[in-house]
Amino acid sequence: MKISLLNPDLSTNCLARAHIFAKVLERHYEVEIIGPKFQDRVWDPLDTEESSYKAFPGRPFPQFLLQVPRILKAIEGDIVWVNTPCFTSFGIGIIKKLISNRPLILDIADWEAAFYRHPSEPDIKAWFITLIKNLKSFVRFPNSYYSILINEKLTFLADEITVSNSFLQRKFGGTIVRHCRNVEDLDPGRYSKHLERERLQINQQKKVIVFLGTPHPYKGLEDLVEAVDLLGDPRIMLMLVGLDQREYSKKLRVLAERKLGVKNIAIFGRQPFDSIPRFLAASDLVVIPQKRTIQTIGQLPAKVFDAMAMAKPIIATAVSDLPEILDGCGWIVEPDNPEQLAEAIQYVLDHPAEAEEMGWRAREKCVEKYSWDAMEKILLDIFRKYE
């Protein structure tokens, strides 16, 4: 049996989940990844020679409509798995189901519509401007806010739904499939903290706190910078991995340098998947400081599973399913509270034996519940219905 994984945009990080699904499903089935590419290249961390995708030019409307027949023809799978309720994935998947009677499975990893909403805008004028912008983008762009809303109303057409967290399960139904990890690649025994710090040119005596991921305002990175600043400890270094060239990353860099000093921060751009364990190995503590916003309640940070697999002590905020995932193997603090975050950081760094024990508990839980083997069992229960 062959499975076609249809992704809405091969240029963005939504490709990460499709990539992991493909790796797990390839143990039993033939798999292909298909989708449009709205930028010049495939998403950087997975744009490698050994990766193979059926990529099509991403275009605004009406030009994109010319690509739809080509994508439909390229879908060879006996089952179509689509990532997110976007037109360029789910919409095309629905068409394929209707014309060829292929089973259609919809995966929802984030609440996409939330990223277009601005609930904190203070006045009717700002609300009206946002409304007009969304209407204009609906006419031009296949995966606009209103396009996603329409596709969310069509989720009943999917034969199965999988989701990444409990908020999405309550909203859309379906089976929870976490962002699982290959615990063999993310094995702390394969890496040396000393050697990785040497490679990254990081002082061996520093206490390194790391954040990994694509930076956004709702990820609480200003709170993390503020928390480290409150500690005022020159032995602490903040390592930010995943910054890009967008305006927010530039502002974050300026803030961190001003608050902490250039010698107490280490900043790195987006990294290929196989580099992630090296940065984790070089760190003493992983912090995931999500804010509680309309964007984060429906999102689960995938990097928590990287940290768990690498047996790192983890501090996260009480957002989405993070408290459940880190229950018994991490520290949870309230969001938007740099003071409480600073206290937690200080505690973890002051109790290295307890931190190490918590890290190993996190790895054990990851192996049991959030590994590729754990994901395989869930996916096989779904896909074997259609063999």
pLDDT value of residue 119: 46
- 188-369: CATH class: alpha beta
When mean pLDDT is compared across 37-51, 65-79, 187-201, 338-352, the lowest value belongs to: 37-51
What whole-number distance in Å separates Cα of residue 77 and Cα of residue 92?
14
Give me the CATH topology for the region 2-180+372-386: Rossmann fold (3.40.50)
Residue 267 banded pLDDT, cuts 50, 70, 90:
very high
Q: How confident is residue 335, by pLDDT bands cut at 50, 70 and 90?
A: very high
Taking the CA atoms of residue 345, residue 349, residue 351 and residue 354 in that order, the dihedral angle to the nearest 10 degrees is: 80
- pLDDT greater than 60 at residue 121: no
Taking all residues of the chain, what is their mean pLDDT, rounded to a whole number? 92
The pLDDT of 361-366, averaged and rounded, is 98
**Token pair of 209 as six digits:** 């706190």
pLDDT for res 115:
79
Domain range summary for the chain, segments of one domain joined by +: 2-180+372-386, 188-369
Highest-pLDDT range among 135-139, 140-144, 203-207: 203-207
Average pLDDT value for residue range 261-286: 94
Is residue 49 over pLDDT 60? Answer: no
Closest C-alpha to 142, from 78, 93, 92: 92
Q: How far apart are CA 75 and CA 54, in angstroms?
A: 9
